[in-house]
A and B are shown apart, each in its own frame.
Chain A
């Protein structure tokens, strides 16, 4: 039974009108937008017009002409769309459902050109007052993924797979020296004074301005740059009762007594362990346990993650999941937008690192880095059998938004020291976490 009938959103009230090719009401879409996870975690500006400006910029750049160098994966995507009648239908309906004034790309050809343009470029810092240029694929896809047909389209496995392949190809570009052109001190570059401050480059990181691109070899190399020694000191080394944050982020949700299977797409039922842990045989150990979720901010947050406890890695997984979906049942309720975080934990591209602490009742701790939007890619530096100490690096995010969950067994944690805001999951949370700093006290039999 759904529980969101009390406040159907205005966009929902128009019901199936959307399917006739009519656009979604812009005001309703804006109300939904400001509550979305992607906005709350600072990967898109809250203002539709900023996103619109970026799209118009892309359109202008494409209109400048010149031969179009088509990315082969974008061509593959176009084939998936054109060869599947109802996929094409959803796609065309999606474009038509974007509200008037925001419908910058009206045909499948224009849509593909926009995606193709973005995956040939690296993100610009551009404007210190808006982040629309910093997340170009999110800004391009934003209005599409908010339409009813877009939600159905982006959930289709063949479309998600095709877009994932486009993003992998883009990731290769962002891993290459060709992407360094945005690493400059110009007003739109990542080394301009505003960007240096925004990313805390001068305080938390170790750039070398005497070297080309200050020592970084690609945009992604800059994105998941290493932190300056001493900036993220490790709390309680050797003390198994002290559990540290594996990542920089903002406390988002704590859910206790988590079920093996739950309706993670509904408001208030955030986590479904069997889905989140991808049916790992270790799942049953966590039933009745606790999920602690954070999200990583765009700017100065460090984009690597570390071991929160000492122990042995007993299982790792990298799961290619959904990149551009949000829970649409949650979207029916305008107040519940960021609840989509639980959705991401259940279906998004993510890693699983299970660390056996060998200490009861703390037992096994599962670290779940989640890639969201943009290239949705993450890399693990550890494998099964490795021994880790608190603070050891375990992996990094490539360019894109990210979230993070840590899963504990029942009775493992005595107290969380950083809590998400009470009753405030739909408000901007304020409690920040820093990598390697204690955030929970474990119950351990010493």
Chain B
């Protein structure tokens, strides 16, 4: 029995990060159709395996012949823990019948397994796009009470993280690059080229197969041409630059050490965001500058200031959890900074007036993984690369000390609609884009 009304379900679907970011089809029926195709592929492979016969070319790729060990581990855990079995079973059963494609735990495991060997495919029709298969798999299940609790239930979240790890290894492997082709559903076809503005990026070898990219993830976090992201005032340490491409979500002032990040307005809660760092007290009363990335954005992040890297760590957290009081999705941006898997790179700025800056890439759905390339103890120049996201949604928060900032150079719409509030004026609804290495603030 669903715990969320059909109207609320639809509203939540439209507000999902994946839907707003263009990774999931706006048309929920198209999502349903995709689910049915995957189910057919999973079932067909099972029949084929039993009958030992060749299969027809399917609309989606065939299912892998056996379960990945991480999927098998989840299966074993569900068998061993009654509470986990209840949550997963209820998560499936609470999806309304007309939306329920996955009927039981075994089918869920089979679908998960299918995705661990699936590279996303390009689709020109925005109404049919399923660029985020894991988000697509969980979209309906996340909308009911059992699903909300399951994705915050540590044993389930940990098991899913392990499965995402296996998927990430596949997407890092050469086996995933077959989707980098110029066919209708390939990422190198003219429509996809335009969507991703590939002319801005470094194409390793345009004459080689897959244009020289070694995996789907290599394509996902491809390098941009330096000329496309010039560093603002490279010689002026007072000019702070954006670490990432994105749409500005919020500039928060006088941020507190601990706050109720789950309540309406989603105040930032530094202690939760910064994962037990000894630099916490320096940021109390400071600023958070947060933006989120869209599909076509450049997926690496850079140093907003020149300085010494004090610490660089990844904190494991949630991946498919949304805040319900503001519906969900992009409206959960600040919530993600407190609970999701995230990287924390602390930089002691060369300019003592700036103090310590924290760059915090946060994963949202899909493989929810990031790699920090700038190691602790090293020095980085402003604009130098700090790391990259693997496949998935992402948002980046930059945390500044209260004394650091004289003024911000971009205007955050105070009533940004994506912050879950109504815009005060029509202008306020216009998204503000930031680009890597563009000036965002003037230091004191």
Contacts and interface: CB of A to CB of B under 8 A. Distances in A.
Interface of A: 1-2, 4-5, 8, 12, 15-16, 19-21, 82-83, 85-86, 88-90, 92-93, 148, 152, 155-158, 263-265, 272, 274-275, 279, 322, 325, 327, 329, 332, 346-347
B83 A347 contact: yes
A16 B12 CA distance: 12
Interface string B307-339: 000000000011001001100000000000011
Contacts of B426: none
A148 B324 CA distance: 13
A42 to B, nearest CB: 26
A347 B3 CA distance: 24
Interface string B1-30: 101110010000000000000000000000
A89 B153 contact: no
A2 B339 contact: no
In this complex, which of B145, B269, B276, B318 has the most chain A Cβ atoms within 10 angstroms of its Cβ? Answer: B145
B86 interface: yes
B1 A148 contact: no
B83 to A, nearest CB: 6
Contacts of A20: 263-264, 324-325
Nearest to B3: A15
A298 B79 CA distance: 34
B154 A272 contact: no
B206 interface: no
B152 A152 contact: yes
A109 to B, nearest CB: 12
Contacts of A86: 152, 318, 321, 338-339
Contacts of A264: 82, 86
Contacts of B79: 274
Contact of A148 (B5, B93, B145, B260): B145
Contacts of B264: 20
A92 B3 CA distance: 22
A263 B88 CA distance: 11
Contacts of A19: 324-325
A265 B338 contact: no
Contact of A2 (B1, B4, B324): B1
Contacts of B82: 264-265, 272, 275, 346-347
Contacts of B271: 82
Contacts of B5: 15
User: How extensive is the interface on chain B, given as a class?
Assistant: 35 or more
Nearest to A6: B1
26 contacts: A1-B93, A2-B94, A4-B1, A12-B3, A15-B8, A16-B3, A16-B4, A16-B324, A16-B325, A20-B264, A20-B325, A82-B271, A85-B269, A85-B339, A86-B152, A88-B272, A89-B262, A92-B262, A155-B153, A265-B82, A272-B82, A275-B85, A329-B90, A332-B1, A346-B82, A347-B82
A21 B325 contact: yes
Interface string B246-285: 0000000000000011111000010110001000000000
A88 B263 CA distance: 12
Contacts of A279: 80
A116 to B, nearest CB: 21
In the complex, the 10 A-B pairs of residues with the closest C-beta atoms, listed nearest first: A85-B272, A275-B82, A20-B325, A5-B1, A89-B262, A265-B86, A152-B149, A85-B338, A19-B324, A346-B82
Nearest to B82: A275
Nearest to B325: A20
Given A16-B324, A85-B269, A158-B154, A322 B4 contact: no
B265 to A, nearest CB: 12
A325 B276 CA distance: 30
A329 B339 contact: no
Interface of A is mostly: helix
A322 B339 contact: no
Contacts of A263: 86, 89
Contacts of A92: 260, 262
Contacts, number: 82
A265 B271 CA distance: 37
In this complex, which of B3, B82, B149 has the most chain A Cβ atoms within 10 angstroms of its Cβ? Answer: B82
A148 B264 CA distance: 18
Interface in B279-302: none
Nearest to B92: A1
A90 B145 CA distance: 13
A407 to B, nearest CB: 16
B154 A156 contact: yes
A78 to B, nearest CB: 13
A119 to B, nearest CB: 25
In this complex, which of B86, B264, B271, B272 has the most chain A Cβ atoms within 10 angstroms of its Cβ? Answer: B86
Contact of B4 (A1, A5, A15, A21): A15
A1 B420 CA distance: 34
Given A15-B3, A152-B149, 8 more contacts: A5-B1, A8-B1, A15-B4, A16-B4, A16-B325, A20-B263, A89-B261, A264-B82
Contacts of A89: 260-262, 339
Nearest to A2: B1
A141 B157 CA distance: 27
Nearest to A279: B80
B305 to A, nearest CB: 27
In this complex, which of B83, B154, B276 has the most chain A Cβ atoms within 10 angstroms of its Cβ? Answer: B83
Nearest to A8: B1
Contacts of A346: 82
A272 B82 CA distance: 9
In this complex, which of B1, B276, B318 has the most chain A Cβ atoms within 10 angstroms of its Cβ? Answer: B1
A267 to B, nearest CB: 12
B64 interface: no
A98 to B, nearest CB: 16
Given A16-B4, A16-B324, A332-B1, A21 B263 contact: yes
Contacts of A322: 83
A71 B338 CA distance: 29
In this complex, which of A16, A85, A92, A327 has the most chain B Cβ atoms within 10 angstroms of its Cβ? Answer: A85
A349 B150 CA distance: 22
B96 to A, nearest CB: 11
A112 to B, nearest CB: 15
A90 B152 contact: yes
B155 interface: yes
B153 A93 contact: no
A301 B46 CA distance: 56
Contact of B93 (A2, A16, A325): A2
A93 B324 CA distance: 12
B148 to A, nearest CB: 8
B154 A157 contact: yes
Given A2-B93, A152-B149, A156-B153, A85 B261 contact: yes
Nearest to B152: A86
A142 B83 CA distance: 21
Given A15-B3, A85-B272, A2 B154 contact: no
A45 to B, nearest CB: 28
B269 A157 contact: no
Contacts of B152: 86, 90, 152
A416 to B, nearest CB: 26
A321 to B, nearest CB: 9
Contacts of B269: 85
In this complex, which of A82, A86, A88 has the most chain B Cβ atoms within 10 angstroms of its Cβ? Answer: A86
A274 B81 CA distance: 10
Contacts of B89: 263
Interface in B108-150: 145, 149
Nearest to B262: A89
